[in-house]
């Protein structure tokens, strides 16, 4: 009975704490500007099914995609076993689904075990890839320190989860006179746990069971602090993907109003209320000037670095890294979100995304080639953040590389980015 109570308290507080942290993340994301991503439900579901559920974009790197797939499928399927653990925990029964499901139960657990074994291999391979092979995209500057520890910690937690499952099932198998017939753990039971006294096996089974349950709660509650939150956020993030052509940048509505007034001298500037579209500033100085989708992107990023390894600026040694843009956006959002929650929505701390986190040098190195957007397996768009930061620098601070000032002046004065006379525009037609 006491076990049921302890279990229920842990279960309730674990999920409760997770829900609290999710609400904090939601608050932070909604600090962003609004952007319309409604409508097109059919296309949105399709995108989500293909890109998040089907992991379509992962397969540009087939080995990583396969290893990732084993972890992903194992994670999804293992939830069945977790449901049983919860059912056992609150009822005090042992393998509560077994009698009802019979042979199908054996099949299901065996299936989970095969996937879990594959996931184990995948996890070890991922650990090796990061720590032994030292893949360039996992050893870049922005991953030094916490991000690397975060990544390894997640993989180690997964190993603990898997070891607990096999300890639980293996010890249970060894205790039985007649095997359950679970594909992997009947073998584990017969080899690892063979000959151990029943008491020891019972303890080991309990350790595995409780260990797995506690690890699940720990893992779940670690997610909102970690880059690993993508396992949930990939779904809404792909659902709310930009469905337009990648080349299309947003047209700022506030600017449209002003330009219309400028081009039409007879227009009455007070005729139409523009307040509903006037932003507090042009472009983005801080994360709160970005859209909620940009901020959702930042929380969804799992720091895989495919964006950065395809970025022409980064490949050629410039400071720009699209992954760092996403990491900085998230770090800044967590910081300012916490402060605003404590001190009210209008609180400012004098810091900003551009300047304190992202340097001007980084964003001016971007060629807007969309390689990062193309590569992201969960449709994150670093380019729109870069463009919004440029907009702030140019339109609010008039800060830009000097050559661009000249280019813009040329466009404004003579309708071309170079200093040519507009009257010479058709000269080519009369040249040989």
In the complex, the residues that contact another protein under the rule CB under 8 A are 60, 244-249, 251-252, 255-256, 258-260, 262-263, 282-283, 310, 312-313, 315-320, 361, 364-371, 373-374, 387, 389-395, 400-401, 403-404, 406-408, 411-412, 415-418, 420, 422-431
Least distance to another protein from the beta carbon of 372, Å? 10
Q: Which is nearer to another protein, 237 or 314 (CB)?
A: 314
Rounded Cα distance between 303 and 306, Å, is 8
Nearer to another protein, 92 or 401 (CB): 401
Q: Which is nearer to another protein, 57 or 340 (CB)?
A: 57
Provide the minimum distance between the beta carbon of 287 and another protein in the complex, in angstroms, as a whole number.
18
Could you give the CA distance from residue 70 to residue 73 in angstroms, rounded to a whole number? 5
> What is the closest distance, in whole angstroms, from the C-beta atom of residue 330 to another protein in the complex?
23
- Tell me the C-alpha to C-alpha distance, in Å, between residue 389 and each of 285, 286, 384, 423: 6, 8, 9, 35
Pick 162 or 287: Cβ nearer another protein? 287
- Cβ neighbours, 10 Å, residue 269: 9
Query: Smallest distance, Å, CB 34 to another protein?
Result: 17
Q: Is the dihedral of CA 196, 198, 199, 201 positive or negative?
A: positive
Do the beta carbons of residue 359 and residue 351 sit within 8 Å? no
Minimum distance of another protein from residue 240's CB (angstroms): 20
Kindly tell me the sign of the dihedral angle through the C-alpha atoms of 256, 257, 262, 267: positive
Which residues have CB under 8 Å from 68's CB, separation 6+? 55, 58, 122
CA atoms of 411 and 418, how far apart (whole Å): 7
Whose Cβ is closer to another protein: residue 335's or residue 360's?
360
Residue (99 or 398) nearer to another protein, CB: 398
C-beta separation of 160 from 215 below 8 A: yes
CB of 272 to another protein, least distance (A): 16
Cα-Cα end-to-end distance for the chain: 96
Residue 376: which of 298, 293, 287, 304 has the closest Cα?
304
- Residue 365 · residue 320 · CB < 8 Å: yes
Q: Which is nearer to another protein, 11 or 255 (CB)?
A: 255
CB burial of 162-191 (b: ≥16 within 10 Å; e: otherwise) equals bbbbbbbbbbbbbbeeeebebbbbbebbee
Question: Could you tell me the smallest distance in angstroms from the CB atom of residue 384 to another protein?
Answer: 12
Looking at the Cβ atoms of 160 and 261, the one nearer to another protein is: 261
CA distance 28 to 1: 41
Nearest Cα neighbor of 147 from 313, 368, 264, 321 is: 321
C-alpha distances in angstroms, 332 versus 29, 230, 297? 12, 18, 13
Nearest distance, CB of residue 125 and another protein, angstroms = 24
Smallest gap from residue 159 Cβ to another protein (A): 34
| Minimal distance, residue 276 CB to another protein, in Å | 17
Alpha-carbon distance 115 to 278, whole Å? 53
Nearer to another protein, 282 or 299 (CB): 282
Instruction: List residues bridging with 358 in a β-sheet.
Output: 354
């Amino acid at each position: 009975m006491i076990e049921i109570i302890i279990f229920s308290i842990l279960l309730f507080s674990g999920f409760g704490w997770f829900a609290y942290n999710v609400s904090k993340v939601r608050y932070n994301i909604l600090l962003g500007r609004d952007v319309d991503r409604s409508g097109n439900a059919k296309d949105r579901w399709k995108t989500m099914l293909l890109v998040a559920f089907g992991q379509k974009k992962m397969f540009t790197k087939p080995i990583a995609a396969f290893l990732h797939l084993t972890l992903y499928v194992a994670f999804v399927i293992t939830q069945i076993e977790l449901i049983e653990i919860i059912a056992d925990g609150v009822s005090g029964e042992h393998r509560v689904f077994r009698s009802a499901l019979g042979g199908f139960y054996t099949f299901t657990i065996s299936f989970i075990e095969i996937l879990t074994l594959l996931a184990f291999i995948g996890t070890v391979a991922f650990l090796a890839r990061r720590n032994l092979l030292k893949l360039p995209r996992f050893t870049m500057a922005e991953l030094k320190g916490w991000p690397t520890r975060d990544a390894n910690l997640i993989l180690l937690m997964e190993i603990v989860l898997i070891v607990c499952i096999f300890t639980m099932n293996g010890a249970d198998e060894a205790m039985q006179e007649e095997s359950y017939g679970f594909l992997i753990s009947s073998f584990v039971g017969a080899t690892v746990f063979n000959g151990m006294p029943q008491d020891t096996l019972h303890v080991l089974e309990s350790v595995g069971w409780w260990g797995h349950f506690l690890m699940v709660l720990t893992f779940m509650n670690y997610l909102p602090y970690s880059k690993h939150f993508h396992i949930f956020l990939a779904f809404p993030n792909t659902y709310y993907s930009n469905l337009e052509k990648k080349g299309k940048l947003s047209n700022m509505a506030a600017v449209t109003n002003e330009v219309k007034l400028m081009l039409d001298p007879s227009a009455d500037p007070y005729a139409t209320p523009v307040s509903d579209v006037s932003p507090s500033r042009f472009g983005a100085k801080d994360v709160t000037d970005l859209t909620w989708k940009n901020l959702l992107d930042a929380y969804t990023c799992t720091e895989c670095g495919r964006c950065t390894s395809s970025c022409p600026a980064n490949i050629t040694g410039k400071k720009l890294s699209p992954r760092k843009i996403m990491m900085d956006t998230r770090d800044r959002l967590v910081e300012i979100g916490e402060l605003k929650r404590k001190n009210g929505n209008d609180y400012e701390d004098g810091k900003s995304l551009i300047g304190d986190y992202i340097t001007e040098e980084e964003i001016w190195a971007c060629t807007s080639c969309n390689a990062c957007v193309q590569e992201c397996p969960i449709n994150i768009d670093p380019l729109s953040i870069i463009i919004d930061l440029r907009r702030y620098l140019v339109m609010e601070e008039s800060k830009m590389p000097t050559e661009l000032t000249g280019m813009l002046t040329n466009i404004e004065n003579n309708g071309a980015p170079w200093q040519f006379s507009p009257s010479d525009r058709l000269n080519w037609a009369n040249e040989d």
